[in-house]
Amino acid sequence: MANIKSQMKRNRQTIKATLRNRSIKSELHTYKRKFLTALEAGDVDVATEALRDVSRKYDVAVSKGVLHKRTAANKKSGLAARLNKLTATA
Using one digit for the tens of pLDDT, what is the confidence trace for 1-57? 789 999 999 999 999 999 999 999 999 999 999 999 999 998 999 999 999 999 999
> 22-45: b or e for each residue (b if 16 or more CB lie within 10 Å)?
eebeeebeebbebbeebbeeeeee
Using one digit for the tens of pLDDT, what is the confidence trace for 44-80? 999 999 999 999 999 999 999 999 999 999 999 999 9
Rounded CA gap, 62 and 18, in Å? 15
List, in order of start, the domains of the chain with CATH numbers.
31-90 (1.20.58.110)
- pTM value is 0.86
